[in-house]
Structure 1
Amino acid sequence: MKQNRFSVRDMVVLSLLVSLNVVLSRIASIRIPIGGVESLRIGFGAMPVIFAGLFFGARAGATVGTLGDIAGFIMSPAGGVFMPHFTLSVALAGAIPPLVLRLFGRKEYVTDYSLLELLVAIGVGQTVTSVLLTPYFLDMLFGVPFAATVFVRIQTQLVQVPIYAVFLKLLARRLSFLALQ
């Protein structure tokens, strides 16, 4: 069992994941406006957040998501005003997958998740955050109709979740030398 505190190496890896999250979500992604508001972002910015949650624990995933969103906003403010609603959504994207795996009796900090476990855990996390919460916040804050974004987000996640799961499975196998467990 892993200690409650992170080692210096863990903090360095998590810091790199925050940086990777900022680059992948703010720079290397496609932004699609609906109703004059950036309503859909297609990219792989969630992958470092999910990776942190799965391989370092729910608290680490939430922290990477939170810090990545805040740093990304500081470097590239979308809309001009910071909205903590979306930060909460990104934090949950990192915290939910390891919690779902824990419900199935899996321990955190392991690198041998099956592809099905990853698909379910990431799928639940992305459904709650990207498919439900983010469109709800867009509707609540900017008046973008929930139905206008939710169907596009479902289609996007049907493609992205399997890509995330396969990539993280391959990455975990390659990074087993880090002794994350």
Structure 2
Amino acid sequence: MSKLRNTKTITTAGMLVAIGIVLGFFKVPINNLIEIRFGNLPIAAAGTLMGPVPAAIVGALTDIGGFLVKPTGAFFPGFTLSGIITGIIFGLLLKTDDSSNLSIVRIFIAQLIVTVFVNVLLNGYWLSLLYGKGYAAILIARIPKELIMLPINTLLITAIAKPVRMIGRAAFNN
């Protein structure tokens, strides 16, 4: 918890929140149903640099800040919880003292857990609550999209992992 009082941690988390909010507005459409989004990259970077608690805070504040800057409907705290859980997962699985331990397999496992438990199950549940649709119907619609996005998101995180670790070593001396 003392890390949360560290000025470098607070400023880095703040910058990642700002980057996450801005990146949340950008998407690359693949077709009518699938689009590449970049909002989770700063949460993964926070997990890689600072661990689960700061990454969870970045996940929550990115969701809340994105809503405040550009609301797309009523605020729903379930998606904030999803951001928190995403940060915890990335922080637990991607934070390493040695960058050689941050392999594509490890990144894939972290992204797989986020995809299954957060993107499909939890966010599917939130959507069923919001729209009054059947949970099973939402799951069936989300699974193919998330299966396609899993390797793409893994490669995106892999692309930023090494530079993030280099910055982390310079900034945090770890």
Q: TM (normalized to structure 2)?
A: 0.80
Match of 2:124 in 1: 135
Question: What amino acid maps onto 1:56 in structure 2?
Answer: M
Asked if 2 retains the 8 angstrom alpha-carbon contact of 1:21 and 1:49, the reply is yes
Partners of 2:124 and 2:8 lie apart in 1 by 36
Asked if 1 retains the 8 angstrom alpha-carbon contact of 2:50 and 2:91, the reply is no
Determine whether 1:74 maps to 2:68. Answer: yes
Distance 1:59 1:137, change over 3 A: same
Question: What amino acid maps onto 1:91 in structure 2?
Answer: I
Deviations along 1:35-86, whole A, 9 cap, x unmatched? xxxx98751211211221232111111101111111111111122x221111
Question: What amino acid maps onto 2:20 in structure 1?
Answer: N
Unaligned runs of 5+ in 2: none
Match of 1:89 in 2: 82
Asked if 2 retains the 8 angstrom alpha-carbon contact of 1:54 and 1:109, the reply is no
Aligned residues: 166
TM-superposed deviation, 1:157: 2.5
TM-superposed deviation, 1:87: 0.6
SS of 2:4's equivalent? coil
Distance 1:23 1:5, change over 3 A: closer
Question: What amino acid maps onto 2:26 in structure 1?
Answer: A
Partners of 1:160 and 1:91 lie apart in 2 by 20
Q: TM (normalized to structure 1)?
A: 0.77
TM-superposed deviation, 1:134: 0.8
Partners of 2:21 and 2:83 lie apart in 1 by 12
Asked if 2 retains the 8 angstrom alpha-carbon contact of 1:56 and 1:108, the reply is no
TM-superposed deviation, 1:172: 2.6
